[in-house]
Amino acid sequence: MIKLGITGGIGTGKSVVSKILTTLGIPVFNSDLVSKQILLGSAKVKDLLILKFGNTILDEKNFIDRKKLGSLVFTNNEALKYLEGILHPEVSLAFKEWCKKNEHNPIIGKEAAILIESGTYLELDYILSVNADIQTRIKRIQERDHLSSQEIEQRITKQLPMEALNNKSHFIIDNSGKVAVIPQIMSLLDILYGLSEGE
C-alpha cells in the first residue's frame, strides 16, 4: 500500500485535489478535519487547552471556540507549538487506525496543511505539494474564511514557504487555475499505480 501525503499552504486548494482523488477511488484521510473533530470532541484535549489558555477560548455552549483559539495561536508561536503538541499525537493515532481499515487499497492519501513541519511526512511514502500563486490563495481564503488581509498574511507566514514544501515533495500539482488539475492528477495516479505494482 502506497501512502501519499497531500500538502500545500493555506488557500492552495489541497482539499480540492483530495476530493478529486477520493472521487477516483483513492481514500484520503483529512488530518485537519480529524484535528477539528478531536478539538471539539475530546474532553482530555479541552481540559488541557483550558488549563493553558483559560475559559476565554470557550463559546456560549461551553465548547472550544476555534476562532478564539485561532486568534491566540496564530499570533503566538509558543501557543501554536503547545496546541500542535496536544493535537498531533491524537491525529497520528487516528491515522494509524484509519490505515488498518483501508489496508486493502493500493494507494491511500493523507491530507495535512503542516505535513512537513510536523514531521509526519516521514511516515509516508511519497509527498504531493499543491501549489497556487499568492494572489489566488488570498482571494480563495477571503471568500472561504472572511479573514482580513492582515490575518491571512499572518497565517501564510506561519507556514513553510512553497519552495520549501516543493523541495520535500516528490510530486507537484499546479492549482492556480492556469493549468487543468484533473489531467495532472491522472498522470500522478498512473505513476503511483505503476509503483504500487512493483511493491
CB 57 within 8 A of CB 141: no
**Confidence (pLDDT) at 152:** 83
CATH architecture under which domain 1-27+107-192 falls: 3-Layer(aba) Sandwich (3.40)
In the chain, DSSP assigns E strands to 2-7, 28-30, 107-111, 126-131, 171-174
The rounded distance, in Å, linking the Cα atoms of 190 and 113 is: 25
CATH class entry, domain 33-101: alpha beta
Q: What pLDDT is attached to residue 191? A: 96
pLDDT of residue 112: 93
Ramachandran angles phi, psi of 194, nearest 5°: -65, -40
Name the grid cell of 92.
497520528
Query: Cell 492582515, residue?
Result: 150
Give the pLDDT confidence score for residue 199 in this predicted structure.
Answer: 62
Helix 134-145 to helix 149-158 angle (10° resolution) is 120
The rounded average pLDDT for each run of 10 residues, N- to C-terminus, in the chain (199 residues) is: 94 94 96 91 91 89 88 84 90 94 96 88 94 89 82 81 92 94 96 85
Contact between residue 43 and residue 90 where contact means Cβ atoms under 8 Å apart: no
- Cβ proximity of 165 and 116 under 8 Å: yes
Give SS3 for 116.
coil
Domain with CATH 3.40.50.300 in the chain: 1-27+107-192, 33-101
